[in-house]
Amino acid sequence: MLIFKLMYLIRGYVVIRLDDINSEKILNILRRKNITVWDVEKKNKGIKFKISYDDYIKNSDFINEIMKPVGKKGFMLKLNKVKFRRGFSIGVFILIISLYLLTSMIWEVEVVGTNQTNTNKILALLSENQINIPVFMSQIETKKLETLIYNNFENYKFVEVYLEGSKLIIFVREREPEPSKIKSNEPSSIISAKNAIISKVIAKSGQPVVKEGSVVYEGQTLIMGIVKNKNSEEFVMVPSEGVVYGKTYYNFEMKEEKIRSVNVSTNKSKSVYYLKINGNSIKIIGDKEPYENYNYRESNINVPIISKLTDISILKGVYYEEVIMEIEIDEKTAQNKMKISMYDELLKRCNDDSRILKSTINFSDDEDFYYLIAQIEVIEDIGEKVRIFPTTEDKTEET
């Protein structure tokens, strides 16, 4: 009955009121005319019932003569009304299309994090790459745009492009200027960059203030750029030149699991398809997360013509089933791995011309882990040149 009523709600029906004592007679006449009548209700004097709009049109003369239609309802009737109001309908249609087009386009580009000159340069770059405002959102690939800007401007250390409403926002972070190099004729001192025991001091110019065997700490002066003039009692500032070798000690503590969990693919996969509209995804086929452990990859499928004009595309996601396997790592492999990691770390911390004097490496293990405890003794240049007085450029930056 629900389907029946729903069908007539779409096709249209007429509610009729009959103020006649012989309502049974009328119902029988309608039955003989093959008219289906439903929802017959007894009212004070007569009855109220519904018939389909098609039957009403076919028998309108007879019905209007003896009965009173109370109302006409249904989707098709509403649609017929719209047909008559053609101008209004076209207007609404144009409005919807315009709204859709206006909201799916980018009307403004905002560059955040740089000055106006660089902003203009970025906008010029966009124009060179056929991105002229207004542009459809579907034509903007933010990741590609980020790469493009990053590759074309060396002074940006970070670029992010995203859409906010109908605005394209390009967020950039400029690199901080590297500290200017100390010129060879500038008064300078050499200080220690690390805690160390002095091994050798070779001072070409300047006054060495540490001896072999002295313990120095980070920031301590090694070769002073202020020296006393031999001919007078005055102090003069000179550029310091020299190499100070010091013994430094690096301690390492590392651990490695004895049993490691590894994801292994089972070559089974299931796909899921989404309809992507303006960045929102609606699932159409397939199940989300069909496996307990999986590797998920997705790709975008552009629908010919539609994807060009609108921001509608199909997103295909593939779930590759994986099983977690536990692999036992043997002692030798774990020790080698920890050693390699340790030396990698050491390389990062030391200078290029460093030399290892002594290395003490101890291995141990418990139920779950292998451990490495090591101390490496290194001889390296620990000197770092610094200006005796900060430059005017630095002063302005500080203020």
Partner 1 sequence: MSKFNNFRSNLADELEIPNNVLSDNFDLRMHGNKKVIIENHLGIKIYEDTMVSVKTNDQDITIKGSKFKIEEINNYKVIVKGNIKEIIFSMKE
**Positions in the binding site for partner 1 (CB under 8 A):** 1, 4, 23-24, 27-28, 30-32, 34-42, 47, 49
Q: Are 172 and 205 in contact (CB under 8 A)?
A: no
Residue type, 50: K
Closest distance to partner 1 from the beta carbon of 76 (Å) = 21
Closest distance to partner 1 from the beta carbon of 300 (Å) = 52
Instruction: Give the residue with the Cβ less far from partner 1, 47 or 170.
Output: 47
Instruction: Give the residue with the Cβ less far from partner 1, 17 or 270.
Output: 17
Distance CA 361, CA 253 (A): 10
Instruction: Give the residue with the Cβ less far from partner 1, 29 or 124.
Output: 29
Instruction: Give the residue with the Cβ less far from partner 1, 30 or 334.
Output: 30
Cα 246 off chain centre by: 47
| String of DSSP letters for 178-214 | PPPPPPTTS-EEEEESS-EEEEEEEEEESEE---TT-
Closest distance to partner 1 from the beta carbon of 1 (Å) = 7
Write the CA distances from 362 to 255, 332, 372, integer angstroms: 12, 13, 6
| String of DSSP letters for 320-354 | EEEEEEEEEPPHHHHHHHHHHHHHHHHHHHS-TT-
Closest distance to partner 1 from the beta carbon of 42 (Å) = 5
Instruction: Give the residue with the Cβ less far from partner 1, 35 or 334.
Output: 35
Closest distance to partner 1 from the beta carbon of 61 (Å) = 21
Question: CB atoms < 10 A from the CB of 161, how many?
Answer: 21
Closest distance to partner 1 from the beta carbon of 276 (Å) = 46
Instruction: Give the residue with the Cβ less far from partner 1, 62 or 162.
Output: 62
- CA-based nearest residue to 341, from 259, 253, 262: 253
Write the CA distances from 38 to 30, 35, 112, integer angstroms: 11, 10, 67
